[in-house]
Structure formats: C-alpha cells, structure tokens
Amino acid sequence: MSDEQHERECTYEVDDHVATITLNRPHRRNAITFTMLEQLTEALLAADGDPQVRAVILTGAGKGFCSGLDLKEAMGGSGIGSQGSFSGGLPHTRDIPTTVLFEMDTPIIAAVNGAAAGYGIDLALGCDMRIGGTSTRLLPGFAKRGVVPESGGTWYLPRLLGWAKAAEISFRGNDLDAVEAERIGLLNTVVSDDELLPTARRWAAEIAANAPLAVQSMKRLFRHGLSEDFVSHTHHVLLQTVRLMQTADFREAVASFLEQREPTFEGR
C-alpha cells in the first residue's frame, strides 16, 4: 500500500472487478471523522460509478470495523459531536455515506472485523451482506450514549428483525457477540477471524462472475420493492426482464448454458 493510502482515512483499491474500501484509522479503532466520511462517500460513489467494479467489500483496518463517534475528539472540542461541529448547518443527506450505500446499485459486503459500534453498526446494516469473524461484536449502545441510530439503524433494524426485536436491541442497548448476531440474522455467516477477508473476497468474486447488469437490477428492484405494492413491483420486474433479455450478457448466458461452459460476462 502506498504512503498516500496509509495517510488516507479511507482507502480504495480495485482488483479483478472487486473494490475494497477500508476505514483507515486503526489507532482509533476506525472512529469516524468528517474527513473519513467525506472520503468514504467518494469511495462509494467511485465504486458505483465504475462499470468495471461488480462488487464491493467494506472493512476496517486493524482490530476493529468502526467504533462509531470519536468520543475523545468530541469531548475535546473537535470532531463530530463537539459543540461547534454542525455550526455550518446539517450536511445534505446525499453527502452521507449511509445514504449513498442505500442508493448504490453495486452489491456491497461488510467484512465486520472486531467491534462495530454506533455509526459502525449503521454502516454494516447499510451493506447488502455482512460477514463476521469470531471476534466480531455489534455494540448498539445508542441509548446509553444519549443518541439514536442516526444513520439508518432506525430504518434497517425493524425491517431486518421485526419491530419487537429491533426495539429490544435498541432500547436495551446491550452488546451482541458474533454467535447471537448470526442467530438473529444481522450477520449472514461467521467464520474464523483469519478467514474473514478471504471469505468476503470469495463471495465478492462469485458475485463479480455473474452477469453484472442482472445483479444490479436485482438490487435496484429489492430497494424499490420496499415501498411498492405487489402489482406495481411485478410491472417493474417485467420491464427489467425485457431490458435484460436484450443484452449481450443474456445471449452469452444462453450460449454458455447450451455449450456447457462457464459464461464470460461483459456487462453490456
């Protein structure tokens, strides 16, 4: 990794159709800053705008995914949460990483290494899939800090878990270990810590090998389906299906099936 990458609070690398975005403040367990949020937004937009990127992995450098608000900086008068941190007004929602996460069509996997607290949980919830290691911990202690899940948690949790379970987790504010997080569905799977990134890369490679236009359409339809009635949604599915059947990737899928070989998709 270059010196410039080391200096950045959020790094971005692309290899074989997979982008890896890494929160890069390991000395503070990747606690968020305005700089990190700005660079994370840039990285997410870059991944979603690059036709060569077919899957994204989001993880944290060092021993933690993201410890949320940097309380030391906030109490010291600088950083997010200090008295003057929003003196210039609230940021526009389009500039917030969790909003970009929701709106992007490229699939994204959270490789949740170590602790995800506060904002870190909301970041993970905004990803399409979440893989944990044995040391993964989800720390939803918002109520213990006098705040709410400010970046998507109040929207995601009831939809992922149902109202009662979301209320239990949020109102009580107790930590969740990897086993419990997997049991209730907040983690897709749990692997050993040393297999966390290899597993995320394997999943991302499997996604990247599929027809990218079809995968992106699925994600877009999932998102729209959250607010559509069934009849409207199936109409939009039909429109997407007709469009996809006109692509070179669909023709390649049919040809590879008939020829009994692996398909090679180009995203067109």
Is the CB of residue 187 less than 8 Å from the CB of residue 130? yes
Q: Are residues 55 and 80 in the same domain?
A: yes
Confidence at residue 91, expressed as pLDDT on a 0 to 100 scale = 52
48 located within any domain: yes
266 located within any domain: no
**267 phi-psi bin (left φ>0, alpha ψ -120 to 50, beta other):** left
265 located within any domain: no
Range of the domain at 167: 3-209
pLDDT at 85 over 50: no
Q: Are residues 28 and 82 in the same domain?
A: yes
For residue 254, the SS3 value is helix
Confidence at residue 210, expressed as pLDDT on a 0 to 100 scale = 97
Q: Are residues 158 and 237 in the same domain?
A: no
Confidence at residue 79, expressed as pLDDT on a 0 to 100 scale = 55
78 located within any domain: yes
- For residue 209, what are its two tokens? 């090998």
268 located within any domain: no
- For residue 202, what are its two tokens? 């394997």
Q: Are residues 199 and 244 in the same domain?
A: no
- Of the listed ranges 35-44, 86-95, 114-123, 129-138, the least confidently predicted one is 86-95
pTM to 2 decimals?
0.89
pLDDT tens readout for residues 239-253: 999 999 999 999 999
Alpha-carbon distance 41 to 267, whole Å? 24
pLDDT tens readout for residues 55-77: 999 999 999 999 987 766 655 55
Q: Are residues 9 and 70 in the same domain?
A: yes
Q: Are residues 36 and 131 in the same domain?
A: yes
Taking alpha carbons only, the member of 125, 129, 210 closest to residue 176 is 125
264 located within any domain: no
Q: Count up the domains in the chain and report the number.
A: 2
